[in-house]
């Protein structure tokens, strides 16, 4: 085989290999469900952000399925909540959890979550309010998910929640085999948690170490939200980088019982 032909074949094969590393084992079936959820007319106002936030890639990586129970920590504007709701459907449920301490700083978004849960279109969404260090759910869930907020928990305004406590409570909230998916802003390598309250960033390595210490198994990462042009040394709210920070997406799995 000539080198040029071999190179072409290798190039064609690489994307599918990369996809297999971060995708669900049955991407076709999941993609149709995700596509339908993203196309829900009720989330028309969110569409302009879908490209930037890579919603299809994130939902596929999180392996969300119809009928699942999802716990979303600090749901913000409800961007992800609306998609979770559409994917899990009437047989599933989405718990939007607002730690009391965070809710004091973001009363508008809390009110938004409550309004969303009161809408019949989102009848499968419930809002939970509880102390940041006392995470609990009404029933075991299949997925715990948080975007850009893991770094907040150890900060003063949240009561300096010990990551070991948070991750243990997430572990206990999940069904055996359940997933803990974390998206957050990347801090400089080796910085640990030094920048959580200043730059609102966290070193991915410390997150992985903390979560694995709680008994989780690292189950993969996605580079869908990575940005090599982010210097990692400026606040995530800086106008030069806001909305385009370098973000890691980690997936951890609670071991299934034997």
Cβ proximity of 95 and 71 under 8 Å:
yes
Q: Which parts of 172-246 are beta strand (E)?
A: 174-185, 217-222
- Across the strands, what pairs with 98? 129
110 falls within a domain: yes
Based on the structure, what is the number of domains in the chain? 1
223 falls within a domain: yes
Domain span at 138? 3-253
75 falls within a domain: yes
258 falls within a domain: no
pLDDT at 20: 35
β-strands 217-222, 247-253: how paired? antiparallel
pLDDT at 257: 78
> What is the distance between the alpha carbons of residues 162 and 98, in angstroms, rounded to a whole number?
17
140 falls within a domain: yes
Kindly report the CATH number assigned to the domain that includes residue 225.
Answer: 3.40.50.150
68 falls within a domain: yes
- Its pTM surpasses 0.85: yes
Contacts of 254 (CB under 8 A, 6+ apart): 171, 174, 175, 176, 177, 178, 179, 180, 215, 216, 217
76 falls within a domain: yes
What residue has token string 């997936």? 251
| Below-50 pLDDT ranges, the chain | 1-30
pLDDT at 135: 98
Convert the pLDDT of each residue in 26-83 to its tens digit: 444 347 899 999 999 999 999 999 999 999 999 999 999 999 999 999 999 999 999 9
């Amino acid at each position: 085989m000539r080198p040029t032909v071999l190179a072409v074949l290798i190039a064609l094969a690489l994307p599918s290999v990369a996809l297999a590393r971060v995708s669900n084992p049955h991407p076709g079936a999941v993609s149709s469900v995700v596509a339908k959820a993203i196309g829900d007319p009720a989330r028309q106002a969110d569409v302009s952000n879908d490209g930037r936030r890579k919603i299809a890639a994130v939902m596929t990586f999180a392996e969300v399925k119809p009928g699942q129970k999802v716990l979303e920590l600090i749901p913000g504007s409800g961007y992800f909540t609306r998609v979770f709701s559409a994917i899990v459907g009437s047989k599933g449920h989405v718990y939007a959890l607002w730690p009391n301490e965070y809710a004091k700083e973001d009363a508008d978004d809390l009110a938004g979550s409550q309004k969303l849960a009161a809408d019949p279109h989102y009848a499968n969404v419930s809002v939970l309010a509880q102390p940041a260090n006392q995470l609990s759910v009404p029933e075991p869930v299949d997925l715990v998910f948080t975007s850009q907020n893991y770094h907040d928990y150890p900060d003063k305004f949240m009561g300096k929640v010990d990551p070991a406590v948070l991750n243990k409570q997430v572990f206990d909230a999940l069904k055996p085999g359940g997933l803990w998916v974390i998206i957050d802003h990347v801090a400089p390598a080796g910085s640990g948690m030094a920048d959580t309250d200043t730059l609102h960033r966290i070193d991915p390595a410390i997150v992985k170490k903390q979560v694995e210490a709680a008994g989780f198994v690292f189950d993969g990462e996605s580079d869908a939200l990575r940005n090599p042009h982010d210097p990692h040394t400026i606040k995530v709210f800086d106008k030069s980088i806001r909305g385009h920070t370098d973000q890691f997406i980690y997936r951890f799995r609670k071991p299934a019982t034997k």
